[in-house]
Structure formats: structure tokens, C-alpha cells
Amino acid sequence: MRAIVFHRHGGLEVLEEAEIPTPEPGPGEVRVQVRAVALNHLDLWVRKGLPGLNLEMPHILGSDIAGVVDKVGEKVEGLQPGLEVMVQPGLSCGRCEACLTGHDNDCPSYRIIGEHVRGGYAEYVVVPASNVVPKPPNLSFEEAAAIPLVFLTAWEMLVRKARVRPGERVLVQAAGSGVSSAAIQIAKLYGAEVIASASTEEKLQKARELGADHTVNYTRQDLVAEVRRIAGSKRGVEVVVDHVGEATWESSVRSLANGGRLVVCGATTGYDVRVDLRHLFYRRLELLGSTMGSKGDLHRIVRLVELGKLRPVVDRVLPLSEAREAHRLLAERKAFGKVVLRP
């Protein structure tokens, strides 16, 4: 099969098109013919190399996959070739307490397709049968590929971790990212008032189209001052969604109201941040870490997409052969929402 692979970590130059053996599904697995695969910042980090990440080379990136079941392995029931599906990116043992209580993203052996094992920058991918979800018929493959990782991540952050409630104010940092475009919609779904930050007027306009009530251009305005002005009486917000890291950490903490919750799922600009413990305990702040989400929650998200309550945001679609260009667009923050590759 045709795939985009890399044999060593590095810059854009390590991505190359290659012909490699087509994988065969084992017991409990299915092979999916990939029709679309969406990018995440995770792809860039894995390509560059992460501490402790030891990959079998050549590696294939791609966590967000949509396609058609092509072949089923032994002991697979209820799935037939020809079924249009989306792939849940998280892999877990299925037997431990975390898995059996619906918290499979807390499984001690948790892994992510495209990060720890080969992903979807290819014509075919093999995944556990438990990781496929029927694709909503009203979505294109490109739209379906734009859902799993970012919506699961945003759902876990806002619904499970931050416990967002109607009437609360939520600040969503870096509104142009995939996670943030999903977070804006989920916060609105739960009745929150949303403030979105971004670096350009074009991104802020798109954030408003997704439902953001207020927007702040952090390159031209004092973000914390604007948040407090919007909230009134110098009060901050109850929830901040952040995945940027060092560059936004201080403004995220300072934007919180007393008793506020800051939920973080990434550190795109760096991880070495400072916490003033006096603010943490005196203001009764909560700092919450979050990674991915459960398999069950993806089914709920898909139902909400089918009902028109949530929608995937696709910035552009490129052929698989232009994976380097797709990585460049993501690294330079040229996209709003998801960049999708089509084999």
C-alpha cells in the first residue's frame, strides 16, 4: 500500500511517500480503507520526537481516521466489509478497572493510534474492532475524520474535568485550533457564555460563527483586562480551556475568577510554567490535566453531530502526497479547525 512514513525523527524532510506491505487484521481486528485522515499537533510532536517514545520504524502518523471496513479478522461480530466508519484513536486493554468503568483513557496501557502505533497516513490501517464507530451518513469522510481526537479531548476537558454548567463563563484560548473549535461548541451546548481568543480577526470571526459570544485579539488587546471587562466588576471566568502552554499560562491563570477551573490538554509552546501557590490556595483555583476521552463518549458526540448540535470544522483538504505542506500549515497556525489528508 501507499503511505507517508518517516524512518527517523526530524523536520518536514523526514516525511516521505513509500510502498509498504498492506497490514492484515488479526483476531478481534478490522482493516479500514482510509478515505480521510485529519492532522493534529500530536503529529508534529511525534515526527520531531518525544521523550520516552520508542517507535518501530518506519512509522506512520495519523490519529483521526475515517474510511470503509475492508476486511474483518477472526472473532469479529457485527461488522461487515463496506461499513463506513470513524476510528476512535485511543487503545486500551479493555480488562482493567479503568476500562470496565468507562474511563479507558485512564488505562495503564493506554496508547494512541498514530502516536504509539501506526496510524492513518496510508491507504489502509488495522485497528481493534472496538475502536470503530459507524460514520454518520450526513457527513463526508473528510468531516468525519475531523471529529474523533479533538471532540473527545474537548468533551473530556469541559464535561468530565471542568464540569461546565449553564450560565458559567468559559475562556477558550487559541480558538483556531481543532480542540478549541470543538470546545467553543461544547461549552455553548452546555449553556455557557464563551470568550474566545485568537491572533487574527479572520479567526475571531470564525469563532463567532461557531457560537463564541465574545472574542479577544490577544495580539492587539490585553487579554486579561478584556476578560475582566466582559465578565464585569473585574471578575474572571469560571473555566479556562488551554492547550498552548507557556505562552498563555499566565493569562489563563489570571483570567480565572475565584474558585475557577483551568483545564489543560497540551503544551504547544512549552511546558515549563510557574504557579504561585498563594493564588492557588487563597483563590481556591483548580488546575486540571486532561488527555483524550473514553470510547463511550465518542458515541455520544457522534449522536450530537447527527442531530446538528455539534459540527466538525474542516479548514482544507489536501492529497496525502502533500503531508509536508499540511504539517507546515499546522506549525505556522495557518488553519482554523482541521487540515485533512485524502489518500
pLDDT tens-digit series, residues 12-25: 999 999 999 999 99
Measured CA to CA, the distance from residue 162 to residue 160 in angstroms comes to 6
Look at residue 304 and tell me if it is in a domain: no
Measured CA to CA, the distance from residue 309 to residue 302 in angstroms comes to 10
First to last CA, the chain: 11
| 167 and 94 in a common domain | no
**Is the Cα torsion angle 115, 116, 122, 125 positive or negative in sign?**
negative
Look at residue 300 and tell me if it is in a domain: no
| 167 and 122 in a common domain | no
Look at residue 307 and tell me if it is in a domain: no
| 170 and 142 in a common domain | no
Tally of structural domains, the chain:
2
| 142 and 68 in a common domain | yes
pLDDT band at 233 (very low <50, low <70, confident <90, very high): low
3-state secondary structure of 315: strand
The whole-number pLDDT of residue 180 equals 95
| 157 and 102 in a common domain | no
The residues, ordered by sequence, that sit 6+ positions from 239 with a Cβ below 8 Å of its Cβ are 158, 162, 164, 168, 169, 170, 171, 187, 192, 260, 261, 262, 263
Q: What is the pTM of this model?
A: 0.93
| 33 and 12 in a common domain | yes
Look at residue 244 and tell me if it is in a domain: yes
Q: Nearest to residue 221, comparing CAs of 253, 202, 199? A: 199
* pLDDT tens sequence across 114-147: 999 999 999 999 999 999 999 999 999 999 999 9
Cα-to-chain-centroid distance, residue 168: 23
| 188 and 319 in a common domain | no
Measured CA to CA, the distance from residue 243 to residue 263 in angstroms comes to 8
Give yes or no for a cis peptide into 148 (omega within 30° of 0): no
| 24 and 55 in a common domain | yes
Q: Which residue has the cell 473527545?
A: 152
As a residue count, the chain comes to 343
The whole-number pLDDT of residue 124 equals 98
Residue 156 is part of a domain; what is its CATH number?
3.90.180.10
Domain that holds residue 158: 151-289
Give yes or no for a cis peptide into 81 (omega within 30° of 0): no
| 168 and 124 in a common domain | no
| 142 and 157 in a common domain | no
Average pLDDT value over all residues in the chain:
94
